[in-house]
Structure 1
């Protein structure tokens, strides 16, 4: 680690520099992540380039604080967000892992339903943020179909087309999907979303409580979060049953989820290559040009 950055972290924690210990751990594809031990206390830290992903951690800190402020579902406490000319650092509460019991999954489902019950007059968010390393534009928009088409699907479709990861025909089919969004998504109030809710972005603490991490927060359609839980698996049946009990799913939820997952699949296609294209094509096959 940069010695200057080491010193800045010590100053922010008000702890002698010599008492800090940094241990790399997994948990991030774009960040250096690890455990910081200081005076017998553990913290989680992330480090990244300050110019490559401007204010990445400040936006994450804002989202974590906002989720925590709802007092519905836990998120790690934000201790410090530090930016220098070259680097940015986020220091968070260390979460001790627990066991994902049946009760954990029921609590998680009911708490996510409660989080989605926090509404707003418009879709979007108060600032741009990130989903992974991809910037998300979040202008306040009156209807979901317009927001999802113009701020999520088509910008990624354009990127993938320019990178030769999608063909013109793929792009035309995605436009066809956007034309039919209002028929698939019945009007619902904007829901407060985690925004990137796959199995790597939540934890179970030592009290067997769900904890949300790495949010890509905005007010959107709740199917965004629910769809993402299915993309890579890892969520128990009790989670969905509890969610449905408190906030019933629409009859066509499976169709909604497939369309919602086009967004993260396009991101993965753009970042990681053509292995994600067959899943996109499978959904697009229902929308002939």
Structure 2
């Protein structure tokens, strides 16, 4: 799930797991269907808080952007990983502690026995993020939601975390919803991509197809705006600025009538400003919320 800051990515991920604060918003319509490990499909929007809490622990895990805000500073790393194991799987304190050390080993933390007894502030940023991944995987979830898990890390640690997630996904067979604003990360880790703009999905499809031939002008603008090696030097020599998308993202509280991207779109026609376009089948695998996708 890709989009710029304020597009609604984090609100979407928090809505899935039922952690969206009531002061921020509510689910007004639509559905959230989760295929569980036993093959059954559960509609999450109709669950009571207690049932949703069980699903959140057993079937869905989440890794947040900043591990220092999602880890409790007064509990050891091992205690925090063991807690969901005890609550959701009913294991003893000793067995849960053993599982916590095993999970720290799986996510590549050296000397896991010692690290399990340490507190979050005693670990590096990369290790803290690995610990939150271990916590999210503690009950072997069907779905892992990773909300910009590499944003606060340096480039080399980012690559390690991406490799770790890909390896764990292959081992466990779980689905990963990777939330990011970084198109390079999407190209590296994802099979399919959904592009979000002003609270709505405007395009979705296989990464190779969407990035090779985007079917929505916003996606096309994003792709043109990605700097390439040596591009800045060539543009400067030619006196040409780096390509950008004109205008600004509208406030979600004051969305324009019709297509939210229309005020910034050079391809917009009157019909775009009348009603919100539906998601149209541009190809058998690609969808676009653009009335003129064929002209791209």
TM interval, shorter chain, is under 0.3
TM-score by length of 1: 0.24
TM-score by length of 2: 0.23
Higher gyration radius (CA): 2
- Structure in which a larger fraction of residues adopt strand: 1
